[in-house]
Every structure is written in structure tokens, then in C-alpha cells.
């Protein structure tokens, strides 16, 4: 499938209400739920659900190359609203439920324009560098 950079999409990102000192952007839902697991706050059942959900995403959602090098460009990812990303959102329900069960706020930010300079794009998501 050939992607047209800058093609018109609605972009959205699920994130917490606290920011990464590295990117100066709110931590995404994957990191927020990871923090719960890392800090030993998840029940055994929820920890297993976290591991299974992360495993599914590792298998099905492309990992932008900037993450492999420790994200030196300080990019963040946003989903593109399209038929490809619907399954991703369905799978994120597990994380949304975990957050709700532990009283962790998850915010859905939406943008009609790319929310930064696009440095990566695939069928499901864009990686952007935010203006500082």
C-alpha cells in the first residue's frame, strides 16, 4: 500500500495527564499502563492482560524506527483514524479499562492536522516531532 505523506486524516492520541521530561509531551497510553505494571500496582490478572496486549501490539503495530535508537528525535506517535486503525482502537480497550480500574486518567487528544512535523508514517499512525 502506498501512503501519501500528509494525506488528510483525523489524528488522535490516548495519553495520560502527566508529561515525559524527555519529549515534553504527555506520556502515551502504552507508557502510562507500563508505569502501573512497573510500579507493581496491577493485579496478577491485569498484569497478564497488559503483557498479552503489549505482545499483540508488538506483533501487529509497526514500531517506528526512531524508537529503536532510544528516540533521539523525541518524537511521539498519533493514530490515524481509518479502517486500518479500528482494530488497534479495539485492542486499546484493554488498556482503557485497566486505567479506569486504577483511577488513572486517560485523555484522547484529537487533531484535524498533523500535530507536529511528520517524521514517520504507516497505515496506522504517524510519528511527529513537536515544535518547541
pLDDT band at 8 (very low <50, low <70, confident <90, very high): confident
pLDDT, residue 5, reads 52
**Residue 18 grid cell:** 502527566
Q: What pTM value is reported for the model?
A: 0.89
pLDDT band at 7 (very low <50, low <70, confident <90, very high): low
Q: What is the mean pLDDT of residues 66-74?
A: 93
Q: Please, what is the average pLDDT of the chain?
A: 93
Q: Can you give the chain as a three-state secondary structure string?
A: CCCCCCCCCCEEEEEEEEECCCCCCEEEHHHHHHHHHHCCCCCHHHHHHHHHHHHHHHHHCCCCHHHHCCCCCCCEEEEECCCCCHHHHHHHHHHHHHHHHCCCCCEEEEECCCCCEEEEECCCEEEEECCC
Q: What is the mean pLDDT of residues 114-119?
A: 95
> What pLDDT digit, counting tens, does each position of 21-53 carry?
999 999 999 999 999 999 999 999 999 999 999
pLDDT band at 130 (very low <50, low <70, confident <90, very high): confident
pLDDT, residue 84, reads 86
Amino acid at each position: 500500500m502506498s501512503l501519501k505523506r500528509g494525506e488528510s486524516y483525523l489524528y488522535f492520541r490516548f495519553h495520560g495527564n502527566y508529561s515525559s521530561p524527555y519529549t515534553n509531551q504527555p506520556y502515551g497510553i502504552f507508557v502510562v499502563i507500563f508505569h502501573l505494571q512497573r510500579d507493581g500496582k496491577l493485579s496478577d490478572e491485569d498484569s497478564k492482560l497488559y503483557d498479552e496486549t503489549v505482545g499483540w501490539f508488538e506483533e501487529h503495530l509497526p514500531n517506528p524506527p526512531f524508537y529503536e535508537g532510544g528516540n533521539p528525535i523525541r518524537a511521539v506517535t498519533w493514530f490515524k483514524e481509518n479502517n486500518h486503525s479500528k482494530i488497534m482502537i479495539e485492542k486499546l480497550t484493554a488498556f482503557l479499562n485497566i486505567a479506569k480500574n486504577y483511577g488513572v486518567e486517560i485523555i484522547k487528544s484529537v487533531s484535524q492536522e498533523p500535530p507536529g512535523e511528520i517524521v514517520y508514517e504507516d497505515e496506522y499512525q504517524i510519528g511527529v516531532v513537536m515544535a518547541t
